[in-house]
Amino acid sequence: MERRRRILLTSAALALVAVTASGCTANEAFFFDLPDPATAEGPIIQNLWNGTWIAAWGVGIVTWGLMLWAFIAYRRRKGNDGVPEQTKYNLPLELLYTIVPLIMILGLFVFTARDQAELLAIEDDQSETINVVGFRWSWAFNYLDEEVYDVGTPGVPPTLWVPVDEKIQFELTSPDVIHSFWVIDWLFKMDVIPGKVNTFQVTPNKEGTFIGRCAELCGTDHARMLFNVKVVSRAEFDQHMEDLRVKGQTGKLESERANYTGERPSEGRNL
């Protein structure tokens, strides 16, 4: 018994040393840490992620413990060439590994469904509505309330501007294939599907520049479907909208034509 205890303690100590030596924080080591959320809704996703990993680690620890115990308790000993007693089934054990995973899956489903319903709720109280057009191979942003637009190319990624601490509604459309709108620090992404308008609302609460990209393998130049997001004050946002008007980028870019060539369109030109 004493030897078994020493083996368990040694194993735990080695695992702790490995984590410490790697320079990882607790979140990075045990939750494969996400970026700090940059939206009011981000903590919902972060909590669901961490809760899932807690459940996964619980299963792993119990499983590894049982394996280690079996290795020690049923190892072959000197003077004993036999094998442990073999049985066809163990009803309590089979019930355990059937019921426990079922309870865990149902629990994860309940929490996921609850958080998904909250994240996808559309309350029609947004301050700005932006139509995001994902096309081969870049992005266009129609600021519907401001009646201006911006558009990028594979070589010149566009920048999406949004005001800080204001709820923004995004309407995602595509003229060609499935893309995926993903702002990494928002901890959120949603598919952009031809013939369907996907909608979500988000409230950016940290000023700064953030990276966005297509998270769906959409074709040849998928890796170049990049964009930036600038979260700024309302005054800076209004000034940028005025700058787009001065450039003549007024109205809305339609999304009827696929295979956009990459030239910056003039007003009224379709993608």
Kindly state whether residues 10 and 111 are assigned to the same domain: yes
- How many structural domains is the chain composed of? 2
For residues 171 and 194, membership in a common domain is answered with yes
Report how far residue 212's alpha carbon sits from residue 38's, in angstroms, rounded to the nearest whole number: 13
The helix (H) or strand (E) run that includes residue 140 is: strand 138-143
What is the predicted pLDDT for the residue at 54?
Answer: 85
The answer to the question of residue 255 being in a domain is no
What is the spatial distance between Cα 5 and Cα 11, in angstroms, rounded to a whole number? 10
Same domain, 48 and 134: no
Q: Which tens digit of pLDDT belongs to each residue from 77-109?
A: 666 666 667 777 788 888 888 888 888 889 889
What secondary structure letter does DSSP report for 186?
A: G
Same domain, 53 and 148: no
Residue 261 — φ and ψ, nearest 5°? -80, -20
pTM of the model: 0.76
218 and 140 fall within a common domain: yes
pLDDT score for 53: 86
Single-letter residue type at 88? K
Beta strands in 126-187 (DSSP E): 128-135, 138-143, 148-151, 159-163, 168-173, 179-183
CB 141 within 8 A of CB 212: no
| CA-closest candidate to residue 253, choices 182, 154, 152 | 152
CB atoms within 10 A of CB 167: 17
Shared domain check, 202 and 109: no
The domain of 213 spans: 128-246
Among 189, 59, 72, CA closest to 134: 189
Are 92 and 163 within one domain?
no
State whether 145 and 185 are in the same domain: yes
242 in the same domain as 139? yes
Reported as a single tens digit per residue, the pLDDT across 226-266 is 999 999 999 999 999 999 999 999 999 875 443 344 444 44
**Does residue 103 sit in the same domain as residue 174?**
no
**Along the 271 residues of the chain, how does pLDDT read in single tens digits?**
555 555 555 555 555 544 444 445 555 555 566 788 999 999 999 999 888 888 888 888 888 988 888 888 777 666 666 666 777 778 888 888 888 888 888 988 999 999 999 999 999 899 999 999 999 999 999 999 999 999 999 999 999 999 999 999 999 999 999 999 999 999 999 999 999 999 999 999 999 999 999 999 999 999 999 999 999 999 999 999 999 999 999 999 875 443 344 444 444 444 5
Same domain, 239 and 142: yes
Q: Is the dihedral of CA 198, 145, 266, 268 positive or negative?
A: positive
Q: Is 132 in the same domain as 240?
A: yes
CB neighbour class for 8 (10 Å; exposed up to 12, middle 13-18, buried from 19)? middle
Q: 48: helix, coil or strand?
A: helix
